[in-house]
C-alpha cells in the first residue's frame, strides 16, 4: 500500500512538470517528500539503496502522470489557447503571495533583496522577450529537450519555480507535450531525463547551500523570473512559435478567459495554503 501511495504521489507531482504555474517542488512539499527528496538528490551516496527504492514508485508515477495528462493539455492549448494561458497565468499569480512571504521567512527584506527582485524582473523581461528575435524559435530536438529537462529539474529543486511557463516562452512546451503524449522515449523522454540528471548533479548541493545561507536572495531572484515570465505568457510575440495569439477572439473568449483566470488565481492561492499547511 505504501508503494501505491508513493506511485500516486508521483502522478500528482507530474502536474508540476507540465502545468504552467504549478511547481513540482511545491507539490512534493505538500505531499511530505520534498525534504527527503532534496537530501537524496544532494547526497545521493549517503543512503542510496533505501532512498532509491523509496523514490522508485514516485518516479514511475511521474512518468505515468506525464503520459496521461499531456494529451488533454495538448488538445486544450490547440483549441482554446487564450482561455488556457490566461488560466495558467492566474494560477501563477495566485502562487506569488506565498513566494513573497517565503522570501522574507528567514530574514527581513532589505534593499539588496529589492535590487535582486527588480533587476531580475527587468532582465528576464528583456532577455526572454528578445530571445526569439536573437536566436529565432528554438528547434525541438535532442539538445533543446536536454535544456527542458534541466528546467524541469530546477522546478523540483526550487519550490515555487514553475518551469513550464519558461518552456512556453522558449517554444518547447507544445513539442514536449506531443512527445510525452506519444511516449517518445528516445527523442523526448531520454534527453529530458539527461537534462534533469545533469541539473540535479550540478545544482542540488548548490541549491541546498544557497537556500540555507542565502534564502532571501534566492527567492527574490525566483520572484523576478516568475513575474516576468507570467507577463510574457500573455503578451503576443510574432517571433515565438508558441506565443499567445488573440486573433479570432470574441467576447465569449474574453469572458471565459476572465473566468478561468479567476479559477486559476483561486487554485494558485489554494495550492499555496496547502503547501504552508503541510510544509
Segments forming the whole domain that contains residue 151: 105-245
31 domain residue, yes or no: no
| pLDDT computed for residue 191 by the predictor | 95
The confidence score (pLDDT) of residue 221 equals 85
- Per-residue model confidence (pLDDT) at position 26: 63
Provide the greatest CA pair distance for the chain: 58
| CA 53 to chain CA centroid, nearest Å | 25
Please check whether residue 5 lies inside any domain of the structure. Answer: no
Mean pLDDT by 10 residues, the chain (279 residues): 79 74 66 76 83 88 82 84 88 80 85 93 86 75 92 77 75 85 87 90 79 84 82 82 83 94 86 61
Q: Which residues 6+ apart lie within 8 Å of 139 measured at CB? A: none
CA-based nearest residue to 204, from 19, 46, 17: 46
If one counts the domains in the chain, the total is 1
Tens-place pLDDT, residues 18-61: 776 566 776 776 566 777 887 888 788 888 888 888 888 888 88
The pLDDT score that the predictor gives to residue 32 is 66
Residue 150, C-beta contacts closer than 8 angstroms, at least 6 positions apart:
195, 196, 198, 199
- Assigned domain for 71 exists: no
Is 48 within the bounds of a domain?
Answer: no
Check: CB of residue 107 under 8 Å from CB of residue 215: yes
| Alpha-carbon torsion, ordered 126, 193, 160, 15, to 10 deg | 110
> Does the residue 46 lie in any domain?
no
Cell numbers for 130: 528578445
User: How much is the pLDDT for 145?
Assistant: 93
Note the pLDDT of residue 274. 63
Say if 160 falls within a structural domain.
yes
Residues 6 or more apart from 23 whose CB is under 8 A from it? 16, 95, 155, 158, 159, 160, 161, 162
d(CA 223, CA 264): 18
Contact 162, 91 (CB under 8 A): no
Query: What pLDDT score was predicted for residue 43?
Result: 80
The reply to whether 146 falls in a domain is: yes
Residue 94 φ then ψ, to 5°: -65, -25
Sign of CA dihedral 159, 189, 229, 61: negative
Question: Does residue 140 form part of some domain?
Answer: yes
- pTM score, whole prediction: 0.71
For the chain, give the number of residues: 279
Amino acid at each position: 500500500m505504501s508503494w501505491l501511495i508513493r506511485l500516486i504521489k508521483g502522478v500528482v507531482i507530474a502536474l508540476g512538470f507540465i502545468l504552467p504555474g504549478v511547481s513540482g517542488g511545491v507539490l512534493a512539499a505538500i505531499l511530505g517528500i520534498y525534504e527527503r527528496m532534496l537530501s537524496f538528490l544532494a547526497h545521493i551516496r549517503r543512503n542510496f539503496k533505501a532512498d532509491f527504492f523509496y523514490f522508485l514508485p514516485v518516479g514511475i508515477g511521474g512518468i505515468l502522470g506525464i503520459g496521461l495528462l499531456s494529451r488533454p493539455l495538448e488538445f486544450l492549448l490547440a483549441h482554446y489557447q487564450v482561455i488556457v494561458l490566461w488560466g495558467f497565468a492566474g494560477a501563477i499569480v495566485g502562487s506569488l503571495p506565498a513566494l513573497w512571504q517565503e522570501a522574507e521567512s528567514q530574514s527581513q527584506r532589505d534593499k539588496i533583496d529589492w535590487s535582486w527582485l527588480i533587476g531580475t524582473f527587468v532582465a528576464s523581461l528583456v532577455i526572454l522577450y528578445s530571445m526569439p528575435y536573437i536566436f529565432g524559435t528554438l528547434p525541438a530536438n535532442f539538445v533543446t529537450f536536454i535544456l527542458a529537462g534541466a528546467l524541469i529539474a530546477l522546478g523540483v529543486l526550487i519550490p515555487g519555480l514553475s518551469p513550464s511557463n519558461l518552456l512556453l516562452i522558449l517554444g518547447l512546451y507544445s513539442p514536449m507535450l506531443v512527445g510525452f503524449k506519444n511516449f517518445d522515449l528516445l527523442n523526448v523522454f531520454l534527453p529530458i531525463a539527461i537534462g534533469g540528471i545533469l541539473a540535479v548533479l550540478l545544482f542540488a548541493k548548490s541549491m541546498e547551500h544557497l537556500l540555507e545561507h542565502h534564502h532571501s536572495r534566492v527567492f527574490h531572484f525566483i520572484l523576478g523570473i516568475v513575474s516576468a515570465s507570467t507577463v510574457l505568457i500573455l503578451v503576443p510575440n510574432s517571433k515565438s512559435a508558441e506565443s499567445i495569439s488573440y486573433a479570432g477572439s470574441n467576447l465569449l473568449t474574453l469572458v471565459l478567459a476572465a473566468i478561468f483566470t479567476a479559477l486559476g488565481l483561486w487554485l494558485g492561492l489554494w495550492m499555496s495554503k496547502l503547501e504552508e499547511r503541510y510544509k
